[in-house]
Amino acid sequence: MMFLKCGLLFLPTSSRPTVEGDYLLYNQCDGYHIAEARKDDDGEIEFYFFGSGMPVSRESYCAWAMLPDTQDMFPLFARKPGEGAGA
C-alpha cells in the first residue's frame, strides 16, 4: 500500500488565495467542501463550488487550505494494468 503524507495550512477568510487550483473550505456547520479557485470576470481569484461552478460567498466558510496539485499525485497513485477496479 502506498501513502502520501502532506500537510494542509488553513487560512481565515480574511486571507485570499493568490493562485488558481483546488482548495478545501471549512464550514463550522457542515464541515468540508472542495472548491476551485479561479479568476472571475474582474481578474480576482475567487472560490467556486467543485462540480457546480457556483460562486462561494465568504460567509459560507470560515477557513480554507490549498490542496496538493493532482498532477503531482497522479504518477504515485495511477493504476497499472491489471490493478484496481475490474481487475
Tens of pLDDT, residues 12-62? 999 999 999 999 999 999 999 999 999 988 989 999 998 898 999 999 999
| pTM for this predicted structure | 0.78
Grid look-up 483546488 returns: 22
SS3 state at 45: strand
pLDDT above 90 for 9 = yes
Grid look-up 460567509 returns: 59
Q: Which residues contact 54 (CB under 8 A, 6 or more apart)?
A: 48
Cell numbers at 5, concatenated:
503524507
Higher pLDDT, 51 or 63: 63
Residues in a beta bridge with 16: none
Mean pLDDT throughout 2-10? 83
Element (H, E) at 73: helix 70-77
| Residue ranges of domains in the chain | 11-69
Radius of gyration of the chain (CA): 16
